[in-house]
Amino acid sequence: MRLPALVATLLATTLFSAVTHAGATLDRVTKTGVLRNVIVNDYPPFGFIDDNNQLAGFDVDVAKAVAERMGVKAEITAPGWETIIGGNWRGRWDTCICSMTPNTERAKVLDFPTPYYSSPAVLVVNKKDDRIKSAADLSNKKVGIGMGSSYETYLQKTLVIPGAKPIDFPFNNVQAIPSDEEVAFQNLALGPGVRLDAIVSDLATANSRIKRNPDLFKIVTELYAEPNWVATDKGDPEWDKKVADTIKSLRDDGTLAKISQHWLGEDITKEEP
């Protein structure tokens, strides 16, 4: 059946727009010779500002390795977590290699081409605290979490990680207190229940802070598996494939493992079975 001329023209225009959008990010990265990646700069050892006032950490080195494998340079910025997870980047950034765990809300505005490491969520308390030994002990407690993190939805009992096992929520009436994670640990250091009773954090991040302050904090339990994926803006499958293929290449030749060993002393980049 023939389409009316106007309908055919509109359909052709729509198809052309879809085709030109697909691969647009890869075209831009190739033409400019720059991969623009965003990170979080208060999340050691994954992203932080070092003594030379430079962005450093595991995520920074992975982003640089991805750019190098693509034959371009990495431009790394930290625009703020809420801005990143809001999506609609409109070409400002190409990737978020920034320790992001997919969840149902984020998947509405961002694409997740591939995982690149996994590190479980853990429960941290003041070292003098003997009240809290498991997630069930969090009922009616004040718990610090990073601003805009998936840990907040965990404490709200709404966290769903696509493809992962259902998460157990054995607590009630938790008062989640979002803040910069550095501030959360400073508050927990004041003593059990003074400002916080506990913190939900990533194992590697918690270990990094405990290593610096072994007399202040302790991990009491792991809570749930937490895969971290590269995030991209919605709608460019060709770019997503390029990113996924590049991460696979870096995993296969041991580059990701080497970066992980450097920052964490272990390999957290192995693919989940």
Q: What is the mean pLDDT of residues 157-170?
A: 90
Q: What local confidence, expressed as pLDDT, does residue 5 receive?
A: 38
- Chain region(s) in the chain for CATH 3.40.190.10: 24-118+227-264, 119-226
State which H helix or E strand residue 18 sits in.
helix 5-21
Tell me the pLDDT tens digit for each residue of 199-225.
Answer: 999 999 899 899 999 999 999 999 999
Is residue 58 within 8 Å of residue 45, measured between CB atoms? yes
User: To which residue do tokens 């980049």 refer?
Assistant: 269
Q: What is the mean pLDDT of residues 53-63?
A: 97
Q: What local confidence, expressed as pLDDT, does residue 251 receive?
A: 98
Instruction: Answer yes or no: is pLDDT of 115 > 60.
Output: yes
Mean pLDDT over the full length of the chain = 90
Instruction: Answer yes or no: is pLDDT of 170 > 50.
Output: yes
Instruction: Answer yes or no: is pLDDT of 13 > 90.
Output: no
Instruction: Answer yes or no: is pLDDT of 272 > 80.
Output: no
Q: How far apart are CA 88 and CA 233, in angstroms?
A: 6
Q: What is the mean pLDDT of residues 74-103?
A: 95
Q: How far apart are CA 105 and CA 144, in angstroms?
A: 21
CATH fourth-level superfamily of 119-226:
Periplasmic binding protein-like II (3.40.190.10)
The two three-digit tokens of residue 226, written as one number: 């937490």
Q: What does CATH list as the number for 24-118+227-264? A: 3.40.190.10
Portion of the chain with pLDDT greater than 90, in percent: 81
Q: What local confidence, expressed as pLDDT, does residue 273 receive?
A: 57
Portion of the chain with pLDDT greater than 70, in percent: 91
How buried is residue 14: exposed, middle or buried, by Cβ count under 10 Å (0-12/13-18/19+)? exposed
Q: How far apart are CA 134 and CA 117, in angstroms?
A: 25
Q: What local confidence, expressed as pLDDT, does residue 161 receive?
A: 87
